[in-house]
Structure 1
Amino acid sequence: MPKILIVGGGYAGFYTAWKLEKWLRNGEAEVTVVDPLPYMTYQPFLPEIASGSIEPRHAVVALRRHLKKTTIIAGKVEKITHADKTVTIHPNIGEDYEVEYDTIVVTAGSVSRTFPIPGVADEAIGLKTIEEAVAIRDRILTNFDKASQLPEGPERDRLLTFVVVGGGFAGIEIFAEIRSFASALLDSYPELAFEDTHFHLIEAMGRIMPEVSLKTAGWVIKNLAERGAQIHLDTQLKSAVGGVVELSTGESFESDTIVWTAGVMASPMLKNTDLPIEERGRLRLQADLRVVGDDGIVPDAWGAGDVSAVPDLSGGGVGGFCVPNAQHAVRQGKQLAKNIVAELRGEDVKDYFHKNAGAVAGLGLGVGAFQSGKIGITGFPAWVMHRGYHGLAMPSWERKIRVIGNWAFNLVLGRDIASLEARVHPRAAFEEFASRPRPAAPAAAAPAAPAVGAGTPGPAGAPVPVGGAVSKE
């Protein structure tokens, strides 16, 4: 059978494999997905995970549970040599090895794009993975616990100062969600007041959320200001060394939680491939999702998602390409599966086309923003639209039920506010109290050697002093 190898199990990779399982006939092709993680993360839910509105495991889709006919390899693709149709895999355990394929699908996704700002690599945390969202949630809860035991002063201010860098959709959503989360936590911490919490969003441009109108963006800024959150426009982060945030405006303050959401870039894995890459480091594709080089289509090579430069035929993309978001990645994965099946059967492939129907953001419980063309909706109706859209967009009914059920229980019971930051060192308690073998008793001292004659070699072969005297110790 033809061997189809999918590099990456994110949105595009998962949906490609999922739909191939549905549309391929038995024995028509063999599909393999390579990813170091055993699950796909639904990233639009990361802000709500960080704010305690969604159980983390409900926002991931286990590959092995939902890809029944697909071979799953837990590891990273380190190199693609399409000339030989081989990939080098670095497994999660064991030595590197090569795998051959007939058709390759590159859906390796993206990583956080950072700049060489002092302190960012050491102090900040991104928002691309489920682990990062959980860590942000636990950091907020742990900091509230610590701050409640401290008097007013710089140490408490640092614990209760939260900074987000980047004013795009991801930045605004996480900023608004954790502001909402912190406000709700105050009911459980009578030692703290609303004025003790400080929220700062830093955006280098003169506006936030370029996907929405200026009117809608202005409403979001005003709403957040009324909730005690400050947005710094036309401002750059100059340094974050030691948690001391220094801005281009000259303002400075300390923070124990710095979240970086200032853009993404294609997976660096593409540096180790002979497939054509464009100037921004993305895989070069044509509209039907086939890889294309200077000499035309590269046979048996496809791509989709954030790792690829996919032409946006609707005319709404930045620079003529689809923006890197879940909305495109999911739809590209579905179209990609259809095209692969069509090519296997000698049928025509179709171009990917999706006209953006709008953008919707959740800004904390009961608050949202929606934009479609000139139509902007804000407040509670937009929040309902946000939850409705993403609740239905979550892959599989099993996951939909878990997420929507989570929301329903939270509506009645409230958010869970237990920090599990101790999970980072899960053996700490066991190690502290575990019994250990007693140290071995010291060996008895060896008896002194008897006197020997002059010039007779001692135990080490060296002559001893004349007279046979033995030194005392």
Structure 2
Amino acid sequence: MPRILIVGGGYAGFYTAWKLEKQLRKGEAEVTIVDPLPYMTYQPFLPEVAAGSIEPRHAVVSHRRHLKKTTILAAKVTNINHADKQVTIEPIAGEPYQLDYDIIVVTAGAVSRTFPIPGIADNAIGLKTIEEAAAIHQRVLTNFDKASMLPAGPERDRLLTFTVVGGGFAGIEIFAELRSLASALIPKYPTISFEDTHFHLIEAMGRIMPEVSLETSYWVIKNLDQRGAQIHLDTQLASAVDGKIELSTGESFESDLIVWTAGVMANPTIVRNTDLPIEERGRLKVRADLRVGTEDEWIEGAWGAGDVSAVPDLSGGGVGGYCVPNAQHAVRQGKLLAKNLVAVLRGEGPKEYKHKNLGAVAGLGIGIGVFQSGKLAIKGFPAWIAHRGYHGLAMPSWERKLRVVGGWVANFFLGRDIAAIEALQHPRAVFEEFAARPKPPAAAAPIEAPAPAAAPAKKAPVKRKPAAAKAAPAAPAGEAAEPAAEPTASVEPAPAK
């Protein structure tokens, strides 16, 4: 059987494997997926996870639960040698090894793209993984707890100042969701007022959310301003050393939470370690039919999709002629890639990726959203319903749909969960603090030198009657014979062991 190797288990990789399981005949091909994570993350839900509106586990899809016919390797691919059709596998446990394949599907996704701004690498956090979203949620809740115990001052202001860098969809959504979370927390903390919280979004361009119209973006800015969140346009972040934000406008303030959403880049582990062609922006060169190559020729047995690939946008709406890196494209490309693989295996030709833009929808906190499709723009509560409806349906598998929607329903009646579990970052801290430990072995006591022998006390003279036999003459009265003094030995103590 042909061996199909899928590198990456995100949107495109998961959907490719999922659809191949349904479309391949028994014995037609052997499918293996490689990813160090055991799940696919539904990234549009990350802002709601950070805001506590969705349980973190509900925003991920287990590979092993839903890919029942696919071999799953918990590992990273660190090199692709397509000339020999071989990859280097680095498992999460064990030694690296080589794995052969016949067909490779590169869907390794993207990571946060940062710039060498002082302090960002040490103090900021991204929004590409479920772990990052959960950590942001915990940080906000913990900061409120800490601030509630402090008097007004710089340290309290720092804890209650939250900064987002990047005004794209991801940046605006996390910014608005955190503002919504903070507003919901304030009534629970009598010592913290609305004016004590500060929210700043920094965007280098002159507008936000390029996927929507300019008028809609202005409405979003006005809405967030009314909710106490400030957006800095045409502003660059100059420094974030030790959490002190310095802007190109000369403004500065301290912030305990800095979320970076200013761009993504193709997974560098893959694109820097392969003999497959890479385009000038560091992405895999992919044709419209998702085969690796150019319009004139393709590389046999190599396919690509998702954020790691530069897929031509035949609709004409892409950036630079290519599809933008988002979930909508990755899901659709994964589905088509599975169909094309099956078609090629059966001697048929692949189809090109063509899509119709359904529009853009964003959630801006509980009850607020925006939707843009062409010239049609919907704002406020109806757009928020559209946002949840679309993503609720787009979540793969009915099992995950029910978990997400069930959580939304529970939150509607019970409110969002605001319990901070900071110890998740250091789960053994309390156990270690109070755990009994064996006492260290006692050191051997040093041997002490014995005290010098005391000289015998002088005895009073004893009067004796003269004996019949000849005796020595007695000592004169008032004198006593002193015994000879005995020498004393000097003993040095042995060194302590």
Q: TM (normalized to structure 1)?
A: 0.94
Alpha-carbon distance in structure 2 between the residues aligned to 1:348 and 1:445: 90
* Whole-angstrom distance in 1 between the partners of 2:444 and 2:343: 78
User: Could you say which residue in structure 1 is the equivalent of 2:298?
Assistant: 297
Larger radius of gyration: 2
The answer to whether the Cα contact below 8 Å between 1:284 and 1:308 also exists between their aligned partners in 2 is yes
1:16–1:334 Cα contact (<8 Å) kept: yes
Query: Where does residue 141 of structure 2 map in the other structure?
Result: 141
**In structure 1, distance between residues paired with 2:305 and 2:66:** 20
Matched, 1:281 2:282: yes
CA contact (8 A) 2:150 2:156 kept: yes
Q: Is the 8 A contact 1:162 1:199 kept in 2?
A: yes
What residue in structure 1 maps to residue 312 of structure 2?
Answer: 311
Gaps of 5+ in 1: 449-468
1:87 equivalent in structure 2: 87
Match of 2:87, SS state, is strand
The 1:309–1:120 alpha-carbon spacing in structure 2 relative to 1, beyond 3 Å, is same
Asked if 1:168 corresponds to 2:157, the answer is no
Partner of 1:177: 177
Worse-matched range after superposition: 328-337 or 425-434: 425-434
TM-superposed deviation, 1:470: 7.7
* 1:209 matched to 2:209: yes
Q: Distance in 2 between matches of 1:26 and 1:122?
A: 51
Name the CA distance, whole Å, in 2 between partners of 1:334 and 1:294.
Answer: 21
Instruction: Tell me the SS of whatever aligns to 1:47.
Output: helix
CA offset digits 1:76-111 (Å, max 9, x no partner): 100000000000011001111010000000000000
Once the two structures are TM-superposed, the CA of residue 443 in structure 1 deviates from its matched residue by 3.5
Q: Which residue of 2 aligns with 1:22?
A: 22
Task: Assess if the C-alpha contact under 8 Å between 2:33 and 2:73 holds in 1.
Answer: yes
Q: Which amino acid aligns with 1:247?
A: L
- Equivalent-residue separation in structure 1 for 2:178 and 2:440 (angstroms): 50
Instruction: Report if aligned partners of 1:213, 1:371 keep a CA contact under 8 Å in 2.
Output: yes
Match status 1:71 vs 2:104: no
The amino acid of 1:263's aligned partner reads G
| In 2: Cα distance, 1:413 partner to 1:472 partner | 76
What's the CA shift string for 1:228-247, capped at 9, x where partnerless? 00000000000000000000
Aligned pairs for 1:23-422 within 5 A: 23-269=23-269, 270-292=271-293, 296-422=297-423
What amino acid sits opposite 2:361 in the alignment? Answer: V
Aligned mates of 2:228, 2:324 — CA distance in 1: 31
Displacement of 1:293 in angstroms is 5.1
CA contact (8 A) 2:285 2:309 kept: yes
Looking at structure 1, the residues matched to 198 and 188 of structure 2 have their Cα atoms a distance apart, in angstroms, of 18
Q: Structure 1 CA distance, aligned partners of 2:98 and 2:444? A: 54
Maintained 8 Å contact 1:343/1:349: yes
More deviation in 332-341 or 348-357? 348-357
- On the 8 A contact 1:316/1:355 being kept in 2, the answer is no
Is 1:7 the equivalent of 2:7?
A: yes
Distance of 2:217 and 2:492 partners within structure 1: 92
Superposed CA RMSD in Å reads: 1.5
CA deviations on 1:380-408 (whole Å, 9 max, x unpaired) are 01000000000000000000000000000
Corresponding residue for residue 461 of structure 1: none
How far apart are 1:429 and its partner, in Å? 1.0
CA distance in 2, matches of 1:277, 1:311: 14
Q: Which secondary structure does the structure 2 equivalent of 1:272 belong to?
A: coil
* 2:144/2:160 contact within 8 Å kept: yes
1-side partners of 2:267 and 2:180: how far apart?
32
Task: Give distance in 2, aligned partners of 1:9 and 1:267.
Answer: 13
- 1:441 deviates by 2.0
Cα drift, residue 294 of structure 1? 9.0
Shift of the 300–151 alpha-carbon distance from structure 1 to 2, 3 Å rule, reads same
Letter in 2 for 1:37: L
On the 8 A contact 1:287/1:311 being kept in 2, the answer is yes
Partner Cα distance (1:241, 1:416) in 2: 33
Aligned equivalents of 1:447, 1:282: Cα separation in 2: 79
Shift of 1:445: 4.9
CA distance in 1, matches of 2:230, 2:296: 51
SS of corresponding position for 1:235: coil
> Shift of the alpha carbon at 1:287?
0.2
Distance 1:354 1:422 in 2: 45
